[in-house]
Amino acid sequence: MQPHDHDLGLAHDLERLMRQAGNRRGALRWLLGGAGGLAGLTLAGCGGGGDASTGSSSSSSSSGSSSSGSSGSSSGGSTSSSCVVIPEETAGPYPGDGSNTANGSIANALALSGIVRSDIRSSIAGASGVATGVPLQVVIELVNTNSSCADLSGYAIYLWHCDALGRYSMYSSGVTGENYLRGVQPTGSDGTATFTTIYPGCYSGRMPHMHFEVYRSTTTASSWSNKLKTSQIAFPTDVSSAVYATSGYSGSAANAAAISFATDNIFSDGYTSQLATLTGSASAGYVATIRVGISV
């Protein structure tokens, strides 16, 4: 494992807001035709991407009861009826939104042709890599906390995350020429944006997570300077354990065992409104649903 160069320290800590409890819609039913192409990869080192910190092996009891990867399982997510703004979080060092560089050039996946897409498993714009792992459908419901959590349609969500080996496309060694696991989707009339992807791996120092940014429209989702909100999605520990017991996630089980929500430097001050609800199984795939509240 390479030394971590992505601890944001005090600058990040000043950026984080007080957490509050949030709510979710119930998990959607989703059937997948099998796991399909689980990665036969070996660990080449977790390329890591996000704000690393060391931690203990304890896990949060808020992750839900263990599903053991069984079909139809449900875990995570709050059932609170409150309507809250999701916490603002750092985009981390690998956003690919034009805010920083990779390999000496501005890294902006938002400028790529074809970046507005639902299935983000493949690279685009001349790159040909495909991320493999346990299938995951992510359903994000965007709501307005200033209007009793009314659905927000016509907005855009940029989602990105690491692959099964903990690497971020465009930045991490071995995948600098790829741009998979990045994509933009508009929200529909029901406020939802749906992505087809894989379950993220767990690299050393962070709980499994995904990053996202909210934009007013797909037109404005071209640069970080236009974003309205940046946050992260957390995943239940029992589901992560089931996924990391499958092939293709070398190193993730050990990394996950060495961290907890209490010691993660993003989620340690609360993660209720950021915890997705998961249904499905490691063999057939999962659906993750989460309600994201913003104030507009």
Q: Residue 198 pLDDT more than 90?
A: yes
pLDDT at 76: 72
Question: Residue 157: helix, strand or coil by DSSP?
Answer: strand
H or E element in which residue 103 lies: none
pLDDT at 184: 98
Number of H helices, E strands in the chain: 3, 12
Asked if 80 and 22 count as a contact pair (C-beta separation under 8 A), the reply is yes
31-46 pLDDT, tens digit per residue, is: 333 333 333 333 333 3
97-294 is a CATH 2.40.30.30 domain: no
Average pLDDT over residues 175-201: 98
H or E element in which residue 217 lies: none
Q: Between the ranges 20-34, 52-66, 120-134, where is the mean pLDDT highest?
A: 120-134
Pairwise pLDDT comparison (59 vs 7), residue with the higher score: 7
pLDDT at 161: 98
pLDDT at 77: 61
209-220 pLDDT, tens digit per residue, is: 999 999 999 999
Q: Residue 71 pLDDT more than 50?
A: no
Least confident among 8-12, 151-155, 182-186, 276-280 = 8-12
pLDDT at 62: 35
All structural domains of the chain with their residue ranges: 97-294
* Model pTM above 0.85: no
Pairwise pLDDT comparison (4 vs 157), residue with the higher score: 157
Average pLDDT, the chain: 81
C-alpha to C-alpha distance for 139 and 11, rounded to whole angstroms: 31
Asked if 98 and 149 count as a contact pair (C-beta separation under 8 A), the reply is no
Pairwise pLDDT comparison (51 vs 227), residue with the higher score: 227
H or E element in which residue 291 lies: strand 285-294
Least confident among 42-56, 112-126, 127-141 = 42-56
pLDDT at 73: 60
Q: Residue 131 pLDDT more than 60?
A: yes
